[in-house]
Chains A and B, each alone.
Chain A
Amino acid sequence: MSEAIEQYLDRVMLYAHIAEPSQAACVRDEQADHLGEKIERFLAEGVPREDAVFRAIEAHGRPKVVGYGLRPRFPLIDIRTHGTARGVIAIGPRAVGVFAFGGAAFGVFAVGGMAAGVVSFGGLAAALLFTWAGVGVASFAYAGVAVGLVAAGGMAVGVVSAGGYAFGMWVPDGGIGLSYFNADGVPHWLRALDPFLTNGHLYLSVTTGLVLSYIPLLGLPQWLLFKERRRLREAGF
């Protein structure tokens, strides 16, 4: 097997990152067999050996694409510098997982530039239950621009909302607001949601908790991504 093929396979396997050695060997052997036969065919057609090797590698595909494709499906942790990470914990440019961290993240807990999930944090976030974001849509939305059943933020639109500019069925107090109900006529079930917005202690502790949790939420994936980049770099790629 030529050195170029070995190097190519090294790169593929580096991205594939298969932990089980026997399984990794099987995958590598299968790729090597494919490339070997392709080269033989080219040689039989009269293509010079060097060209044959180059053309076989080119036809096989970019190591990053092939290698990431060969990664085990939905492992405990999937960290990628390219494409979509899928895992229980998924970290990458796009991430899909129970815990997803990425430029675009989709999961039960999603953190990212664009995030969607049950609980999501990010620049632009949508969540079934709770979001803390620049622009957020959720049942409970704490955001710069917040839309939700209970919405709090610079601009908030919700059934119950509070913030700099707040619009909703019921705007308890503060800021500039437009409320459908006035304080005397508001139904009990709406008033029951007030504490989420008007209880200063609750508001402060939730916000503090979010700020504190956001630091590790951002830092941990970045650290793991950094380690993955270093692993690739140390291998010379």
Chain B
Amino acid sequence: MYQRGFPTLARQVKKPMARLKKSTLDGNVETMLLALLAEGPSYGYQIVRDLNQQGSGLLKLGEGTVYPVLHRLEERGQIAGKWRQLQGARPRKYYRLTPKGRRALAGQREQWAGLVEVMQKMLDGDQARPPVSQGGVA
């Protein structure tokens, strides 16, 4: 049993994770941005850098496409933007999470936890099920 399963597991470990498709990301970038800003105020370039770092190279976003999402969150009042000039730096727009954004993020976290649990069960169940050719179906 172990011997049969081992090569499959080895292949899975070696295989690099695929980059996330745009369709998978759609709608989730907002949550990612809220989560990043929950760690503290930040500005566009830094946010993109953090996204890429925490995404371990699996996210491949056009950097400019993050701004429409930021502006949308700002319009909804989930984040607030303010121009600031730190010493020796260019003026730049810093975004911070608002209480409304914090609540939205908490809601999203719950949704994700539920979804991950369900998906994990479904996918694990799919792997555990023996193939039809091996007589898995009575």
Contacts and interface: CB of A to CB of B under 8 A. Distances in A.
A31 B90 CA distance: 13
Contacts, number: 58
Interface in B70-104: 71-72, 75, 83, 90-93
A49 interface: no
A157 to B, nearest CB: 35
B112 interface: no
A30 B91 CA distance: 9
Nearest to A62: B62
A20 to B, nearest CB: 13
Contacts of A31: 64, 67
Interface string A13-31: 0000000000000110111
Which of B63, B64, B75, B93: most chain A CB closer than 10 A? B64
Give the 10 A-B residue pairs with the shortest CB-CB distance, closest first: A61-B62, A66-B64, A69-B68, A61-B64, A60-B64, A37-B45, A34-B45, A33-B92, A34-B44, A60-B63
Contacts of A34: 44-45, 48, 63-64, 67
Interface residue tally of chain B, by bracket?
10 to 19
Interface string A43-78: 000000000000000011110011001100100000
A169 to B, nearest CB: 43
Interface of B: 43-45, 48, 62-65, 67-68, 71-72, 75, 83, 90-93
A12 B63 CA distance: 13
Interface residues of A, number: 20
Nearest to A70: B68
* Interface residue SS majority, chain B: helix
A70 B45 CA distance: 16
Contacts of B71: 27, 70
B92 A66 contact: no
A61 B66 CA distance: 10
A192 B44 CA distance: 64
Given A30-B44, A33-B90, A38-B45, 4 more contacts: A27-B71, A34-B45, A60-B63, A65-B65
Interface of A: 12, 26-27, 29-31, 33-34, 36-38, 59-62, 65-66, 69-70, 73
A168 to B, nearest CB: 41
B93 A30 contact: yes
7 contacts: A30-B92, A33-B90, A61-B64, A62-B62, A66-B67, A66-B68, A70-B68
A26 B93 contact: yes
B56 to A, nearest CB: 18
Contact of A69 (B67, B90, B91, B93): B67
Contacts of B92: 30, 33
Contacts of B91: 29, 33
Nearest to B92: A33
A33 B63 contact: no
A103 to B, nearest CB: 20
Contacts of A60: 62-64
A36 B90 contact: yes
Contact of B65 (A26, A27, A66): A66
Which of A33, A38, A70: most chain B CB closer than 10 A? A33
A61 B68 contact: no
A27 B43 CA distance: 13
